[in-house]
Copies of this chain bind each other. A is one copy, B any other.
């Protein structure tokens, strides 16, 4: 089977052995934003055509490729939902190739206590892969998937019960490039652990994020925050506020982290600062999730 995690800015393809082991892996800067209208079949052939020619006849996609801007829009599946629910809700994708069939994993939707909606696309598949690593029978677990939009996922009895998204990564990018803070940060500076910790500590003080942000500027003006430390301080401030709010909403420790380094290491450091146990997992959880959902599809559903 072929699994493809097809997001906004990149495409990750996995050639999977029966049982889910990754035989081969590829990554391309060919996210859905880089695919012209009608170009998805060609983009898929370009990415994995040789694997199809070699006999792979099932392709399972997940991620933003199933959004309104993607290939086929797969309606969000409502929580609670687990691997079996996701498999049953996969959507067939028209692919003019006699030898391979393509299906798409839907995203998940949830509502918080106040009724405000939440959505994810792609992360649901990573969660399925992570649950296999954690032990699917865990009565309760909290998963944290850092990224542009970080997902905090509550799992109960092997199914996603609900989740909350924090726009931290994207807010960091917007503030560090498009506000007066840009003048106080050296964009090329390497990460600075001490400055990150200072930002984390600041996030735990009163005043609110919008006030703490101005402190980045004021500390720079008074010479108390060197330009080379500004980015790490801002990063610590934002991640600190995110983690504080997530803890206030409630987590079931340990928090299971999965995502790209070095971001996961920063979240681990933030959880340490709050005294919350955590475990880090394989960032390629999507491959395992695609394999598991594919297995659940069995022979006939394709």
Contact = CB atoms under 8 A, between A and B. Distances in A.
Interface in A152-166: 164-166
A225 to B, nearest CB: 10
Interface string A168-180: 1011011101111
Contact of A174 (B174, B202, B205, B224): B174
Interface string A88-125: 00000000000000000000010011101111000000
* Number of copies of this kind of chain in the complex: 2
Interface stretch (A135-143, A187-195, A241-249): A241-249
Given A117-B224, A174-B179, A208-B241, A165 B214 contact: yes
A262 B70 CA distance: 40
A180 B175 contact: no
B171 A202 contact: no
Contacts of A215: 116-118
A46 interface: no
Interface in A178-230: 178-180, 202, 205-211, 213-215, 217-219, 221-222, 224
Nearest to A204: B114
A233 B5 CA distance: 33
Contacts of A175: 171, 174
A114 B204 CA distance: 11
Interface size class of A (residues with CB under 8 A): 35 or more
Contacts of A170: 179-180
A260 B119 CA distance: 38
Contacts of A222: 109, 117, 119
A248 B208 contact: yes
B167 A206 contact: no
B119 A218 contact: yes
Given A170-B180, A206-B245, A207-B249, A116 B213 contact: no
A211 B165 contact: yes
A2 to B, nearest CB: 29
Interface of A: 109, 112-114, 116-119, 149, 164-168, 170-171, 173-175, 177-180, 202, 205-211, 213-215, 217-219, 221-222, 224, 238, 241-242, 244-246, 248-249
